[in-house]
Amino acid sequence: MGAKALLVGINKYAYINPLGGCVNDVKDMANTLISLGVIHPTPGELRILTDGNATRANILAGLKWLVTGAKKGDLRIFHYSGHGSQVVDVNGDEMVDHKDETICPQDMQVEKDMITDDHLAALFKGINSSEVTLEVILDSCHSGTGTRDLNAGDNQTLIRSIRPSLDHSFLIDANPELKNRRVFRNSVIDNKMNHVLWAGCRDSQTSGEGPINGVQRGFFTYAFCKCLRGAGKGIIRAKLDSQISLYMKNSLHASQTPQLECDATNMKQPIFT
């Protein structure tokens, strides 16, 4: 089996407000994957983009590197930690809430610079889920189906969300049809998906970051890595999702709800298989 991982974490944005825990998230994810033997720390298997290196062009090039040449039995992992947002859907594929979820590159200036869930779907289109395992882990606002908020009781918690521009936010907020929110259980079975999505929150929520043991961290990535290391890579996805959700609720007191989305077969299989 050939394995590749692309890990992206952005604290220092060029034009929008900074975050504090995203680079630490990437370090934790890399250490977790390496310690469990999922990924080896070699250039052929692991690429990390942080801060100024995590431009839109570099992220898209990294994603192309990640999926190109994937063959039967291969594993691909994409982890993103940073700002997320939403824009009005323009191609009609978001039938429920009419919004595309986005991730925000380091050099983002305007909404067209964001990478939407449509961009990711197009990049992942060639993946055959019966042959290649693709795990996508998004620790950003509105990451379900494609903002960081924790009720931590201190003023050090940051929200990983970018508010849409006035024209888009007006359309979303003023139009009753566009204000519809998707409500899911923690686990969502979608038999049309060709990858596994681990989202830090529902698409209507924000994701939070704050100090954990004196270190600024994203709450979802922290819980994901902690629970995965404790269970080992043989844990079934649905069980790991349940453990993450309980840890975030009971130990971190998080207001966000993490969400696992994949087909029924992947839901019942061990992670990374």
Return the active site residues: 83, 141
**Angle subtended by helix axes 219-231 and 237-250, to nearest 10:** 130
Torsional class of 142: left (φ above 0), alpha (ψ -120 to 50), beta (otherwise)? left
**Integer Cα distance of 70 and 39 in angstroms:** 15
**Integer Cα distance of 108 and 113 in angstroms:** 5
**Structure tokens that stand for 214 in this block:** 């004196």
Residue in the block written with tokens 């192309």? 64
Strands 215-218 and 207-212: antiparallel
Contact in structure between 38 and 84 (CB atoms under 8 Å): no
Question: For residue 196, what are the β-bridge partners?
Answer: 135
Q: DSSP 3-state assignment of 262?
A: strand
**Structure tokens that stand for 143 in this block:** 């990451």
